[in-house]
Amino acid sequence: MPMRGASKSRRFKFPEETSVIFALLLLVAIVGSLRPIFLKPENLLNLAASYSISALLAGCIVYLLSMGEIDLSFGWILNLSAVIAGVLMIAGVPVWIAIIIGIIAGGVMGAINGVLTVVMRLPLIIVTLGTASVYQGVSLITNKSGSVVPTDEKITTNIFFRALGGDIETPIPIILIFVVLAFVVLHLVLHKTRFGYRILAIGSNPEAARLAGIPIKQTKILVCALMGFVSGIGGVLFLGFRGAVDPTTGANLLLPVVAAAIIGGTALSGGAGTVWGSLYGALIVGVIGVGVVFLGIDAVWSTLVTGLVILFAIGVDQIVRVRKNRAG
Amino acid sequence: MESKSRKARWSAIALTTGMVLTANGVATPAQAAEKKLTIGFVVHAVGNPFINQIIEGAKAAAKDLKITLKVTGPAGAEGDAQLTAVQNLAAVGVDGIATSVPSASMMKGLNAVIKAGTPIVQFNGFVDGVNAPYVGEKSVESGRLLGKMVLEKIGGASAKGSVIMGNCFPGFPVLENRSKGVQESLAKAPGIKIIGPSDVKVDAAANFAAWQGLLAANPDALAMVGLCAPDVESIGKVNAAVAGSKTIGAGYDLTAGNLEALKNGTAHISLGQTPFIQGYLPVYMLVDSIRNKIKINKSGFIDAGTEIVTATSVTEPFGSAPLTFAKLQKMSTSPSATRTYYDKIVKGYIKNWQKNLKPIAAESA
């Protein structure tokens, strides 16, 4: 027996994300071989920058999926956080203060989701069905159902807007650097801290986690608050990146973000998740979307392909889970 | 178990790759077009009957001008996804891009594309500040016109009662302008109380449910006024379901469903915004400006005109040939009949687009 164990430990083990990285490279190679212009570094960097905010959200929703939960409201948290920050800037609040308030507002909205889930003893998906509309509604009231566009020169010349908006030329878009750093933090928190282990334990077996003394309610509230906080960051990043926030901003983020996490290898059944995988998953969703434009395919195909991949991934997840239960 | 999971992941990869390859098979012939100008056409929603009429106009222009047209757009109206589509088309190297602009957050990105050398024309929805001309209706004015027509139907300035208003997309600038215009006209009757505008949603089923609820809550309403393409058809169905309903139904766009509601008397007024011109003219402007080196990198407005349609009359803009309701119904589902009808406009108003270019302020005058 020890001999077998030793030989196993010596065997090289590919990282969990290998398959998704391979898929990403394969897709890039396919699109690039058919349309070489796609491989121009600025195109690839622009692609990554365009999808960086949804990638950031995908990195965080891995936490919720790992815990066996899903949040439907994060797109509207992103929207409302950006609206709050933008409205405050227009009202004369210093840019950095407005940004901090916007992000904190995101965290508070996430925490509200968590508290409601715990208090009402309902799955997060049901609670956020309601809160998504609440946050959207508050956003519409706050922005008077119009776009929030900070146009004052004092605001637009602030380094936050200049750096994110591309006015300061850098070899790699600033937003991309920020998101990669955020991924390092998200990865370390999920896989190297007690908080992260608790999340995975709850997702794996809530009853066992409870018996082991893990504070399930507190952990749930904290993860929801973290999702809101990261959505808030996404909101202010969007405001800096695009220079405005619209009433519809964030409305269509749910599908690509969840798809990115699932394609990246995070199981819907909870108990496991890969933050880096979600980054590659987001890039795959991006390459599919961008690829269809580069290849001159009608937009309908992009939606169809993304949807089918998600359905397939969900189906596979279900099959694996059922077999696992049977084996158990 | 891990090997099963990995196997499943590899299957997903194979499927993804297969789908992209299959999809590519559809597109390859389009890439063969070389030397010809290629124009990108980006819409804010795919699968909407009214947007499809705009796309047919753009396709007619592409056919007439012998260029390649690449149509794309997100499934749901969302500015960021649409901007990404525009940026991707620019990266592909198209010669020009026509795009609707539903969101202010697109402005910075669009101006960057224009600055980098790809000309852009806005259509159907615009943002002030984008350095590109806009083709669309006079949105506030068309709202005023609709409000005026509704007021005439419900008794004029002495009318008393409530009018329900619905907006399928709160915040969309053109719709907000229409709403402003309608309310301006209705304000001429002090006895009119406006209910809303309520969010009546874009999706056809949700739109119908919203109007049904609004009429149920306000059964004595004198009129229901929508601002979007699905409204007239929904209002017609809602009216049809209420025996003896006398509520006036009014709204926008000349889709087949809306025209049917006018024909059967369950709705009463629909304003068209000449989707053919909104599709044809931007493509024509781009091709003409590229071929003749005309700079179009500044804001401006070209009126696409307003069509006024009831069950008994059709008024088309710019001195077009008289049109019967029956012919309009046929045109709503026939791109070739539409192209034939607009031939005079193509050879006159559209060809002379430079003469019709006005400051952008004219749009919301």
Write the CATH number for A257. 1.10.3470
Answer whether residue A1 is part of any domain. no
The pLDDT of residue B103: 86
Answer whether residue A296 is part of any domain. yes
At residue B204 the predicted structure's pLDDT band, cuts being 50, 70 and 90, is: confident
Q: Are residue B92 and residue B193 in the same domain, yes or no?
A: no
Mean pLDDT value of segment B351-355: 93
CB A225 within 8 A of CB A107: yes
At residue B179 the predicted structure's pLDDT band, cuts being 50, 70 and 90, is: very high
Q: Are residue B122 and residue B145 in the same domain, yes or no?
A: no
Nearest-by-CA chain B residue for A309: B16
HSE (side-chain half, CA atoms, 13 Å) at A34: 23
B42 three-state secondary structure: strand
Q: Does A167 touch chain B (CB under 8 A)?
A: no
State yes or no: pLDDT of B34 exceeds 80: no
Spatial distance between the Cα atoms of B1 and A199, rounded to a whole number of angstroms: 22
Which of A256-260, A324-328, B63-67 is most confident?
A: B63-67
Distance from CA of A44 to the nearest CA of B (A): 10
Residue B358 per-residue DSSP state: B
Residue B320 per-residue DSSP state: P
Cβ-defined contact of A309 to B19 (cutoff 8 Å): yes
CATH number, domain containing residue B165: 3.40.50.2300
Cβ-defined contact of B11 to A34 (cutoff 8 Å): no
Q: Which two tokens stand for residue A289?
A: 């979307």
Measured between beta carbons, which residues in chain B are less than 8 angstroms from residue A145? 170-171, 176
Measured between beta carbons, which residues in chain B are less than 8 angstroms from residue A319? 8
Answer whether residue B6 is part of any domain. no
Measured between beta carbons, which residues in chain B are less than 8 angstroms from residue A246? 79, 102-105, 171
Considering only residues A223 and A164, tell me which one the structure prediction assigns the higher pLDDT.
A223
Answer whether residue B7 is part of any domain. no
List Cβ neighbours of B317 (8 Å cut-off, separation of 6 or more). Answer: B274, B303, B305, B306, B307
Phi, psi of B309 (to 5 degrees): -130, 130
List Cβ neighbours of A326 (8 Å cut-off, separation of 6 or more). Answer: none
- In chain A, pLDDT over 90 holds for what percent of residues? 52
Cβ-defined contact of A320 to B8 (cutoff 8 Å): yes
The pLDDT of residue B142: 94
Cβ-defined contact of B84 to A289 (cutoff 8 Å): yes
Q: Does B116 touch chain A (CB under 8 A)?
A: no
Considering only residues A233 and B219, tell me which one the structure prediction assigns the higher pLDDT.
A233
At residue A5 the predicted structure's pLDDT band, cuts being 50, 70 and 90, is: very low
Mutate which: A27, A295, A308, vs B, most B CBs within 10 A: A295
State yes or no: pLDDT of A140 exceeds 60: yes
Cβ-defined contact of B30 to A301 (cutoff 8 Å): no
Answer whether residue A33 is part of any domain. no
Q: Are residue B164 and residue B41 in the same domain, yes or no?
A: no
> Please, what is the average pLDDT of chain B?
87
Spatial distance between the Cα atoms of A278 and A24, rounded to a whole number of angstroms: 12
Answer whether residue A5 is part of any domain. no
Spatial distance between the Cα atoms of B265 and B63, rounded to a whole number of angstroms: 37
Q: Are residue B229 and residue B175 in the same domain, yes or no?
A: yes
CB B104 within 8 A of CB B80: no
Nearest-by-CA chain A residue for B2: A320
∠ CA(B303), CA(B308), CA(B314), 5° rounding? 120
CB B211 within 8 A of CB B235: yes
Considering only residues A232 and A324, tell me which one the structure prediction assigns the higher pLDDT.
A232
Cβ-defined contact of B108 to A244 (cutoff 8 Å): yes
Phi, psi of B87 (to 5 degrees): -60, -40
Spatial distance between the Cα atoms of B310 and A108, rounded to a whole number of angstroms: 52
Interface predicted TM-score (ipTM): 0.74
The answer for B70, left when phi > 0, alpha when psi is -120 to 50, beta otherwise, is beta
The pLDDT of residue A100: 97
The pLDDT of residue A1: 41
The pLDDT of residue A160: 93
Out of B47, B89, B107, whose CB is closest to A293?
A: B89
pLDDT tens digit sequence for A18-76: 777 888 888 888 888 988 888 888 888 888 888 899 999 999 999 999 999 999 999 99
Measured between beta carbons, which residues in chain A are less than 8 angstroms from residue B115? none
At residue A312 the predicted structure's pLDDT band, cuts being 50, 70 and 90, is: low
Nearest-by-CA chain A residue for B108: A242
Neighbour-count burial for B37-54, b at 16+ CB within 10 Å, e otherwise: bbbbbbbbbbebbbbbbb
Restricting to A residues 241-300, those with a Cβ less than 8 Å away from any Cβ of B are 242-249, 251-252, 263, 265, 284, 288-300
Distance from CA of A130 to the nearest CA of B (A): 17
Cβ-defined contact of B171 to A140 (cutoff 8 Å): yes
The pLDDT of residue A269: 81
Chains A and B form CB pairs within 8 A to the count of: 181
* Number of separate domains in chain B: 2
Q: Are residue B176 and residue B268 in the same domain, yes or no?
A: yes
Spatial distance between the Cα atoms of A109 and A76, rounded to a whole number of angstroms: 10
Out of B30, B112, B170, whose CB is closest to A296?
A: B30
Which residues does residue B226 pair with via DSSP β-bridges, in sequence order?
Answer: B166
Spatial distance between the Cα atoms of A229 and A185, rounded to a whole number of angstroms: 14
Spatial distance between the Cα atoms of B88 and A289, rounded to a whole number of angstroms: 10
Maximum alpha-carbon separation in chain A: 72
Measured between beta carbons, which residues in chain B are less than 8 angstroms from residue A43? 91
At residue B29 the predicted structure's pLDDT band, cuts being 50, 70 and 90, is: very low
Cβ-defined contact of A249 to B9 (cutoff 8 Å): no
Answer whether residue B38 is part of any domain. yes
Q: Are residue B125 and residue B215 in the same domain, yes or no?
A: no
* Number of separate domains in chain A: 1
Cβ-defined contact of A320 to B80 (cutoff 8 Å): no
Is B205 exposed, middle or buried (CB count within 10 Å of its CB: 0-12, 13-18, 19+)? exposed
Q: Are residue B119 and residue B175 in the same domain, yes or no?
A: no
CB A50 within 8 A of CB B87: yes
Q: Are residue B86 and residue B171 in the same domain, yes or no?
A: no
State yes or no: pLDDT of B15 exceeds 50: no
Answer whether residue A229 is part of any domain. yes
pLDDT tens digit sequence for A244-301: 998 888 988 998 899 899 888 888 888 888 999 999 989 988 888 787 778 776 656 6
**Residue A254, CA distances (Å) to A98, A257, B151, B192, B230 in order:** 26, 5, 42, 41, 25
Q: Are residue B96 and residue B168 in the same domain, yes or no?
A: no
CB A303 within 8 A of CB B75: yes
List Cβ neighbours of A29 (8 Å cut-off, separation of 6 or more). Answer: none
Cβ-defined contact of A26 to B17 (cutoff 8 Å): yes
pLDDT tens digit sequence for B111-160: 999 999 999 999 998 988 999 999 999 999 999 999 999 999 999 999 99
Distance from CA of A248 to the nearest CA of B (A): 6
Spatial distance between the Cα atoms of B224 and B208, rounded to a whole number of angstroms: 12
For A297, the domain range is 18-27+40-323
The pLDDT of residue A151: 86
Phi, psi of B135 (to 5 degrees): -115, 120
Cβ-defined contact of A298 to B19 (cutoff 8 Å): no
Q: Are residue B210 and residue B254 in the same domain, yes or no?
A: yes
State yes or no: pLDDT of B232 exceeds 80: yes
Measured between beta carbons, which residues in chain B are less than 8 angstroms from residue A242? 79-80, 83, 105-106, 108-109
Cβ-defined contact of B16 to A288 (cutoff 8 Å): yes
Cβ-defined contact of B26 to A297 (cutoff 8 Å): yes
Nearest CA-CA partner of B129 in B148, B165, B162, B105: B105
CB A293 within 8 A of CB B42: no
For B176, the domain range is 139-272
CB A199 within 8 A of CB A73: no
Restricting to A residues 64-93, those with a Cβ less than 8 Å away from any Cβ of B are none
B38 three-state secondary structure: strand
Q: Are residue B286 and residue B267 in the same domain, yes or no?
A: no
Spatial distance between the Cα atoms of B38 and B164, rounded to a whole number of angstroms: 45
Measured between beta carbons, which residues in chain A are less than 8 angstroms from residue B89? 293
Q: Are residue B94 and residue B171 in the same domain, yes or no?
A: no
Answer whether residue A34 is part of any domain. no
Nearest-by-CA chain B residue for A36: B92
Order the strands of the B307-309 sheet from edge to edge. B192-199, B161-167, B223-226, B248-252, B269-272, B307-309, B314-315
Q: Does B32 touch chain A (CB under 8 A)?
A: no
Restricting to B residues 190-249, those with a Cβ less than 8 Å away from any Cβ of A are none
Q: Which residue is associated with the tokens 């994300």? A: A17
**Residue B154, CA distances (Å) to B150, B245, B308 in order:** 6, 13, 18
Last residue of a domain, one of B272, B289, B315: B272
